[in-house]
């Protein structure tokens, strides 16, 4: 059932929140200022925790009454016990980690389910920009110039599917987002890789 | 005197907008039927605790907040100090409508055992001799302080604290509380603290203790019998410790190399040349008016002995196994006395224990004392944490 939320909430956050069971335990890695955690707490009655790199983000979260610690996805996930969460979420963060594969490995150890959302670098607008302008694309989901961007490990839907295979992660559900539209892809192929601006994966250990 | 710093320094100017909440100054003594079993193996009896309360305990006794004080503070957290007349050391935090809201919470602040403001300590009378204990007072630990506080809560009929909060040594007590009595602590806010005292921290304490013991007026700890007080040694101890409460940036900002009431160097050792010298001497002098030298020895010892991991098989996470307490750990960027790294060790252990933990590091140049001072980001985060915990506790 889709969440009944106001239109101010980012579509990708709603898509992620829709994948989470009510009342579950959730760790949001790279939780920013806590938008998703707050949404999960208020609409899904989730027992949520967060990790956030920026101290300003952490302070904002705690001031909102969320349980968040300052930490680095690349370094600080090792502390969490095995299977300590129902879901570990990496929302729009994987592309900014130094070692996405290790982060994913930690997440599947900590959580029974893993949710990853990221901007798809193969969206047709990005392909077109590269082709026509010969410059690094700047879009709604990738808003920074190449020299400013925190995104050091961008990938495509197809790339991510390969990584899931390597990391022995099975796909339970896949959501594709473009503009204000979202749809489920049971077997994302070349067409999805072209159409999706963002992708959300619900994964579990094989 | 230059600009004042914090209540650690005892020189914070009173803010006229901050009215003190009504304080009840209480004392309880536990007789021979209730001795305090100490970590050293000795029993302390009788045990007296002096404590202040503010606000009202609600009907189901679920709104109690325990404030644990730091090394040189006492139970006068929000009322004027009866000896010095200075405002409470955390008046900006504790009071009606403030972060620890005395309109909503029943606030308890006990003087630690070993202290010198009415709780059992070296200045109190030893019933065996009829004289002040002096060094006959048993060596106490942070766990002993907390055990005595648990007796106080039993006495008050409070089963579970809504919140235990404290900075520095107060933070150590909060950690000990959460570890020793997990069912009795709903939420815990350890601030600017450590789960084990470092070599550097022990070193600074040892300098202070040696300064006290080198003062001929100390008389092997029996100065009260001799009608003297080792004020010079205690003042030097305070001066050395006080440096650790500040940061180099704050010292530079406030004092730099500015001269004290003069334009040229004196080429002498009498009156202070530099403002920082004058400031430290003032800190030392005012401190001895309100603090006891033997108490300083005992309490610094208790802090040095604190190592929460050591008593849990060397693994700090074991101290918090299965805890349901909600934690909010707070550190300060310029605190080199209990730096962020020490506080993060606590956070890592809590995460490993599967605890519900928040951790904020506050950007400030005010050093260790920042937890006592005007830090709006600290206020916002603490208010958010306390409000959320109060909702979960069903407090309205």
3-class secondary structure, B196: strand
Pairing relation of β-strands A25-29 and A85-91? parallel
- Range in A8-17, A123-132, B148-157, B312-321 with the lowest mean pLDDT: A8-17
Q: Choose among A65, A70, A80: nearest Cβ to B359.
A: A70
Q: Which phi and psi (to 5°) does residue B119 adopt?
A: -80, 160
Greatest Cα pair distance in chain A: 48
Name which CATH class applies to A11-205.
Answer: alpha beta
Contact A109/B at CB under 8 A: no
What tens digit of pLDDT does each residue of A24-53 get? 999 999 999 999 999 999 999 999 999 999
Residue range(s) in chain B whose domain bears CATH number 3.40.50.1820: 24-196+307-393
Beta-ladder partners of A198: A119, A177
Residue B301 falls in which region: left (phi positive, over 0), alpha (psi -120 to 50) or beta: alpha
Distance from the first to the final alpha carbon of chain A = 26
Q: Which phi and psi (to 5°) does residue B202 adopt?
A: -60, -40
Whether residues B352 and A68 touch (CB distance < 8 A) is answered with no
pTM attached to this predicted model: 0.92
What CATH topology corresponds to B202-299?
Answer: Rna Polymerase Sigma Factor; Chain: A (1.10.1740)
CA angle B262, B265, B269 (to 5 degrees): 105
Beta-ladder partners of B359: B329
Of A2, A203, A1, the residue nearest A114 (C-alpha): A203
Whether residues A55 and B352 touch (CB distance < 8 A) is answered with no
Of B23, B92, B110, B105, the residue nearest B65 (C-alpha): B105
**Which residue is listed with tokens 């920026």?**
A54
Distance from the first to the final alpha carbon of chain B = 45
pLDDT band at A3 (very low <50, low <70, confident <90, very high): low
Q: Of B62, B119, B120, B168, which is the active-site residue?
A: B168
User: How far does the CA of residue A178 sit from the closest CA of chain B (Å)?
Assistant: 35
**Which residue is listed with tokens 């929140």?**
A17
Annotated catalytic residue B103: no
B interface residues, A as partner, C-beta within 8 Å: 326, 328, 347-348, 351-352, 354, 356-363, 377, 380-381, 383-385, 387-388, 391
pLDDT at A7 over 60: no
**DSSP assignment letter at B110:** E
Which residues of chain B are under the pLDDT cut of 70?
1-17
pLDDT band at A5 (very low <50, low <70, confident <90, very high): very low
* Token code pair at residue B64: 């109690």
Pairing relation of β-strands A67-70 and A169-178? unpaired
Distance CA B146, CA B164 (A): 11
Burial class (CB in 10 A: 0-12, 13-18, 19+), A129: middle
Of A49, A71, A39, the residue nearest B327 (C-alpha): A49
3-class secondary structure, B127: coil
Beta-ladder partners of B163: B65, B187
Q: How far is CA B30 from CA B46, B47, B119, B142, in A?
A: 6, 5, 11, 19
Residues B47 and B120 sit within 8 Å (Cβ to Cβ): yes
Residues B8 and B72 sit within 8 Å (Cβ to Cβ): yes
pLDDT band at A140 (very low <50, low <70, confident <90, very high): confident
Whole-number pLDDT of residue B1: 33
Name which CATH class applies to B24-196+307-393.
Answer: alpha beta
Whole-number pLDDT of residue A32: 95
Of A196, A202, A194, the residue nearest A182 (C-alpha): A196
Among chain A residues, the shortest Cα distance to B378 is held by: A59
Whole-number pLDDT of residue B166: 98
3-class secondary structure, B75: coil
Could you tell me the strand order of the sheet in which A85-91 lies?
A: A67-70, A47-52, A25-29, A85-91, A111-119, A198-205, A169-178, A181-184
User: How far does the CA of residue A120 sit from the closest CA of chain B (Å)?
Assistant: 32
Distance CA B330, CA B194 (A): 11
* Token code pair at residue B348: 């890592």
DSSP letter string over A62-111?
A: HHTT-EEEE--TTTSGGGSPTT-EEEEEEES-GGG-S-HHHHHHHHHHHE
């Amino acid at each position: 059932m889709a969440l009944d939320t106001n239109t101010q909430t980012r579509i990708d956050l709603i898509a992620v929140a829709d994948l989470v069971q009510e009342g579950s335990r959730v760790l949001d890695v790279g939780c920013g200022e806590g938008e998703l955690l707050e949404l999960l707490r208020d609409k899904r009655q989730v027992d949520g925790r967060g990790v956030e790199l920026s101290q300003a983000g952490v302070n904002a979260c705690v001031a909102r009454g969320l349980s968040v610690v300052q930490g680095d996805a690349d370094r600080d996930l090792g502390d969490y016990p095995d299977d300590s969460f129902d879901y570990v979420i990496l929302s729009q963060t994987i592309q900014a980690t130094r070692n996405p594969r290790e982060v994913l490995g930690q997440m599947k150890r900590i959580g029974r389910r893993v949710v990853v959302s990221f901007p798809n670098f193969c969206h047709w607008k990005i392909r077109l920009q590269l082709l026509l302008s010969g410059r690094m694309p700047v879009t709604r989901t990738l808003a920074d110039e190449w020299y400013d961007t925190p995104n050091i490990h961008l990938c495509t839907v197809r790339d991510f599917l390969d990584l899931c295979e390597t990391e022995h992660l099975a796909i339970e559900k896949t959501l594709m987002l473009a503009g204000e539209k979202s749809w489920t892809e049971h077997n994302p192929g070349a067409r999805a890789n072209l159409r999706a601006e963002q992708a959300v994966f619900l994964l579990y250990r094989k | 005197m230059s600009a004042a710093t914090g209540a650690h320094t005892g020189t914070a100017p009173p803010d006229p907008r901050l009215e003190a909440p009504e304080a009840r100054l209480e004392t309880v003594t536990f007789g021979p039927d209730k001795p305090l079993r100490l970590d050293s193996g000795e029993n302390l009896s009788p045990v007296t605790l002096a404590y202040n309360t503010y606000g009202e305990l609600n009907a189901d006794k679920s709104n109690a907040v325990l404030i644990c004080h730091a090394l040189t503070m006492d139970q006068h957290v929000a009322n004027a100090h009866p000896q010095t007349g200075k405002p409470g050391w955390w008046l900006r935090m504790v009071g009606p409508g403030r972060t620890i809201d005395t309109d909503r919470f029943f606030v308890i602040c006990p003087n630690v055992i070993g202290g010198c403001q009415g709780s059992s300590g070296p200045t109190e009378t030893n019933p065996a001799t009829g004289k002040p204990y002096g060094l006959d007072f048993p060596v106490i630990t942070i766990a002993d302080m907390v055990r005595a506080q648990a007796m106080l809560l039993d006495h008050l009929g409070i089963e579970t604290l809504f919140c235990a909060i404290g900075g520095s040594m107060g933070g150590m007590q909060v950690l000990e509380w959460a570890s020793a009595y997990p069912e009795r602590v709903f939420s815990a806010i350890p601030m600017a603290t450590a789960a084990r005292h470092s070599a550097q921290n022990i070193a600074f304490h040892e300098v202070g203790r040696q300064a006290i013991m080198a003062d001929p007026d100390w008389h092997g700890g029996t100065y009260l019998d001799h009608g003297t007080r080792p004020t010079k040694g205690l003042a030097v101890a305070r001066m050395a410790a006080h440096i650790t409460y500040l940061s180099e940036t704050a010292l530079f900002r406030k004092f730099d190399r500015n001269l004290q009431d003069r334009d040229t160097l004196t080429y002498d050792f009498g009156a202070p040349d530099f403002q920082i010298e004058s400031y430290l001497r003032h800190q030392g002098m005012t401190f001895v008016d309100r603090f006891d030298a033997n108490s300083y020895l005992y309490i610094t010892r208790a802090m040095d002995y604190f190592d929460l991991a050591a008593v849990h098989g060397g693994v700090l996470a074991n101290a918090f196994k299965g805890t349901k307490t909600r934690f909010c750990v707070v550190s300060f960027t310029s605190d080199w006395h209990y730096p962020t790294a020490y506080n993060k060790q606590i956070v890592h252990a809590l995460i490993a224990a599967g605890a519900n933990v928040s951790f904020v590091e506050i950007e400030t140049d005010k050093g260790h004392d920042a937890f006592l001072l005007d830090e709006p980001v600290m206020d916002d985060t603490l208010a958010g944490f306390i409000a959320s915990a109060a909702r979960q506790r069903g407090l309205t």
